[in-house]
Structure 1
Amino acid sequence: MYLTWLDSNSWLIEIAGKRILLDPWLVGALMFGKADWFFKSERRTQRQIPANIDLILLSQGLPDHAHLPTLQQLDRQIPVVASPSAAKLVQQLGYAEVTALQHGELFNMPNLLTILAVTGSPTGPTTVENGYIIRDLTSDRSIYYEPHGYHDKNLKDFAPIDVVITPTIDLKLPLIGTVIKGQQGAVQVAKCLQPQVIIPTAAGGDITFSGLLLKFLQAEGSVATLRSLFAANNINTKVLEPKPWERFEVPLPQLLNLS
């Protein structure tokens, strides 16, 4: 299993011989609507879009997960698996093969891998987006991804999971509260899924931020404090710190998922 962190929430996952592009933001600026005065993120270094993508996987329909300029650049013939809100967006862009997964539904590449949609982050009064469990059927390895730290209460039914990709810092807004649940969410999911490795997402990367929102966002915690929390809770999970755009093999010496 190889991973490449492409900044922010974006990942290239190489598993079961397939290349999965997860929540890609790869071109242009990241904004919500056209309100660059409110929030804008830009790359310090221009990057090439990864080649030979077998599947696009989208957890949410918001721009930091389903980034419209990036999706407009990608090949419309690449199959897409997405939350219902993200699926609606890529269908409007003319993607040829789109699978919308409700919570509890499974996408299957026969004899290679499965992708299970689980309850993810609330993004509106009636919208709850997706987390995913990706399982490699050729090696029995598994990955769980949820980008805001909102973890399904029934995750324990799928333990153990080898790798967890989730936030490891908290982001808070006055009057609203925690919008990304990193530290305690990571402790919760580590206890629940017993992963060998946890890897931070939604942590910036080789990018810059600007806009009014930054005056109100409060970031708390770090990888070091998370490791201390793990030690205090007798959690043996390793916390990795990937570097942006550097491909690495996930160290998984022990096969957990043997039946």
Structure 2
Amino acid sequence: MQQVLAETDVLVITQGLDDHCHIPTLSAVSNKAVPVVTNPDAAARMRPLGFSNITVLTPGQETIITGQAGGRLKIHATAGALVGPPWTPRQLGLLMREVSSDGERPASLYFESHCDFDSGSLQKGQKSCLAGGPVDVVVSPVVSTMLGVGPASYELVQGASNLVKLLRLLRPKVLLPLLNHDMDASGPLTSILWQKGDEHGVAELLRREGLTDTRVEYPAPPGEALALAL
């Protein structure tokens, strides 16, 4: 992990909850000066760990990060997952685009970890960050994680329900499934956690929905880089 972080230009964290802002993992990061872009809750948890270069965003705000080699990345925060009561602030989704000065077409990416989003916020971000155009890559869950039994179940992660709507909005070239359902879990709630949807049936789903301009690529193993042809 340390080798990967040594080459990292920016660390983005979209939620302040333990499974996103994971204190044991963050405590093990040796370079606490790595640029971080996150929300207020996560920033409050990271500062006591020694992270010193944190940019805090709320939906509608944006920043530009300069990388180690001089490249620049524009990051626009959108309204992401609602993980509490309806009156609580939403977590973050992030639209990211290279800031290019050499005439090359900049690459762009959208990341949100629950496939839960506010369409209006996302469209405003698309206009600000991408001039209203499509995004190159979407990183999103494609499977739903449910909590509960039967009709009373609550959809914690909404990949199976919202994926098609998200892809119609952003029109990406590449969908990179976020496999956050594929994990080892323990505790009293695990007996009523279950998944809805099929990560291996996504390409067929896109074909049925007429989203044939989007291709599905799967993540590389942990610690390995993934190169995407755009």
- TM-score, structure 1 length as denominator? 0.73
**Alignment check: 8 A CA contact 2:10 2:65 kept:** no
- The 1-side partners of 2:73 and 2:140 are apart by 21
Structure (1/2) with the larger strand percentage: 1
Partner of residue 229 from structure 1, selected from 192, 205, 208? 205
Once the two structures are superposed, the pairs formed by residues 100-249 of structure 1 within 5 Å of their partners are 100-109=56-65, 112-125=72-85, 126-138=88-100, 139-154=105-120, 155-157=122-124, 158=126, 159-174=133-148, 175-204=152-181, 208-236=184-212, 237-245=214-222, 246-249=224-227
Identity %: 30
Instruction: Give the residue type in structure 1 aligned to 2:115.
Output: G
| Structure ranking higher on relative contact order (CA contacts 8 Å, 6+ apart) | 1
Shift of 1:88: 1.1
**Preserved CA contact (<8 Å) 1:119 1:128:** yes
Q: 1:164 to 1:56 in 2, by over 3 A?
A: same
Distance change (3 Å), C-alpha of 1:48 and 1:197: same
Report how far residue 176 of structure 1 moved.
4.5
**1:195-214 Cα distance to aligned partner (Å, 9 max, x none):** 00111114355x53333322
Give SS of 1:128's match: coil
Runs of at least 5 residues in structure 1 that lack an aligned partner in the other structure: 1-25, 27-46, 253-259
The count of aligned residue pairs is 206
Under a length normalisation based on structure 2, what TM-score does the superposition of the two structures give?
0.81
- Equivalent residue runs for 1:32-51 within 5 Å: 50-51=5-6
Decide which structure has greater helix share. Answer: 2
Specify the code of the residue in structure 1 equivalent to 2:225.
R
Moved runs in structure 1, 4+ residues, more than 6 A?
none
Q: Which amino acid aligns with 1:71?
A: L
| Aligned residue identity for 2:116 | Y
CA contact (8 A) 1:183 1:226 kept: no
**Cross-structure match for 2:129:** none
Offset from partner CA, 1:33-74 (integer Å, 9 cap, x none): xxxxxxxxxxxxxx9764332222110001111110121121
Q: Secondary structure at the match of 1:89?
A: helix
